[in-house]
Structures are given as structure tokens and as C-alpha cells.
């Protein structure tokens, strides 16, 4: 069965496909289908709300089952920031490098024991018949003092768990412990319960 994912991020598509392919689900982007998805305005105040906004918008534009996620990094010493603003933390022209630099700057005087953080991923899956699935995955860790590794994307080179820095993990190692991996496994379990 074909699902559309409400993102142009190929890395997210690959992650989703790895987890959902055993369920005979094919994850496609708007580019794959040659259609245009309106950029949904992420004006929710939580990861859950923003994931749902994107999923419903993708469903509306494609008439296909749609999966959307909203995810980010929540740092305890920054009262949960960057949170839902993780992708645009460093401003209008934000990118991974600028976001990582800003985070390191914000935490420069914070000692190791107070650099606790978690990655959060909320996924919403909506169907043309009105069914809806919402799941949340988290991964606890700490923020490093400097970038480590070249793998992953976003804040991965700064996020350290008991399994190591996300920037040094293989895709499979990261999937096994990450916030998105945890959320996707929950989504897969929920999808098994319904008649696709």
C-alpha cells in the first residue's frame, strides 16, 4: 500500500521506508508522485499538533494516507528549547551547522551534568476515511561540548546517548535507539492492528 510522507527530506523517507517496508507499505514523497504539497503552516504549540497539521494537509493535497512527523531537541538547561523550533533555531536562514553552533554557544557555560536533553518525535498518520494514528517516541541523552562524527543530520553530532554519539552511529544503530525509531516502531504496531 502506498503512503505519502509530508516532507521533502529524503533521509526521513529512507528512515520511514526501512521500518515500514516489512508491512508492505511503500513510502512516497510528493516529488515521487509528481504532485505539489502545500507547505503547511506549523502553528501548533506542540510536536503532536504540528505533526497532525502536516498530515492533514498532505492528505488533503494527495487524497492518500499521509504520514507526517514533527521532531526536535529539548534541552533541560534551556527550558526545553529549541523544542518545536529545532529546525529554525538559529533564525530565518537556519541550517544544521548554524543551529549546532547556536546550541553550543547557548550551553557554553553549562557543566556536563546539566546538559541533559532528549530528542522527541511525534508521528501522525491519517487516512482518507478519517482514521488517525498518533504516536510519540523519545530518546534521552546529553549535549556534547563539541561536534562528534559526520553521520546523521540535525543535532546528531552533538547528541550523546549511552550508545554513543548519534553522529557516529550507523543508520541501523541509530534506528534501534532513536526517537524516530521508537516512534516508528509504535506506528508500525498500530498499523498492524488496522485493516489496511
Give which of 144, 147, 156 is closest to 181, Cα–Cα: 156
CA distance to 15, 35, 125, per residue, from 122 (Å) = 14, 25, 10
Q: Where does 11-90 show beta strands of DSSP type E?
A: 26-28, 66-75
Strand partners, 74: 82, 118
Which of these is catalytic: 69, 70, 76, 129? 70
Known catalytic residue at 70: yes
Convert 92-113 to b/e letters by CB count within 10 Å (16 or more is b).
eebeeeebbeebeebbeebeee
On the CB side of 98, how many CA atoms lie within 13 Å of its CA?
Answer: 10
Angle between helices 10-20 and 179-193 (to 10 degrees): 50
| DSSP symbols for 166-191 | GGGS-HHHHHHHSHHHHHHHHHHHHH
Give which of 156, 74, 87, 154 is closest to 118, Cα–Cα: 74
* Residues assigned a catalytic role: 70
Amino acid at each position: 500500500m502506498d503512503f505519502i510522507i509530508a516532507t521533502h527530506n529524503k533521509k526521513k523517507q529512507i528512515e520511514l521506508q526501512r521500518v515500514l517496508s516489512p508491512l508492505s507499505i511503500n513510502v512516497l514523497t510528493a516529488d515521487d508522485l509528481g504532485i505539489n504539497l502545500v507547505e503547511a503552516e506549523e502553528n501548533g504549540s506542540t510536536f503532536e499538533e504540528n505533526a497532525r497539521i502536516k498530515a492533514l494537509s498532505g492528505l488533503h493535497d494527495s487524497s492518500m494516507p499521509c504520514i507526517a512527523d514533527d521532531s526536535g531537541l529539548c534541552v533541560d538547561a534551556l527550558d526545553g528549547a529549541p523544542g518545536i523550533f529545532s529546525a529554525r533555531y538559529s533564525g530565518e536562514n537556519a541550517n544544521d551547522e548554524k543551529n549546532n553552533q547556536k546550541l553550543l554557544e547557548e550551553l557554553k557555560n553549562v557543566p556536563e551534568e546539566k546538559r541533559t536533553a532528549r530528542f522527541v518525535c511525534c508521528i501522525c498518520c491519517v487516512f482518507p476515511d478519517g482514521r488517525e494514528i498518533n504516536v510519540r517516541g523519545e530518546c534521552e541523552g546529553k549535549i556534547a561540548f563539541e561536534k562528534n562524527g559526520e553521520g546523521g543530520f540535525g543535532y546528531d553530532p552533538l547528541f550523546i546517548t549511552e550508545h554513543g554519539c548519534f553522529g557516529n552511529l550507523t543508520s541501523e544503530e541509530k534506528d534501534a535507539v532513536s526517537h524516530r525509531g521508537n516512534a516508528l516502531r509504535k506506528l508500525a504496531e498500530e498499523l498492524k492492528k488496522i485493516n489496511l
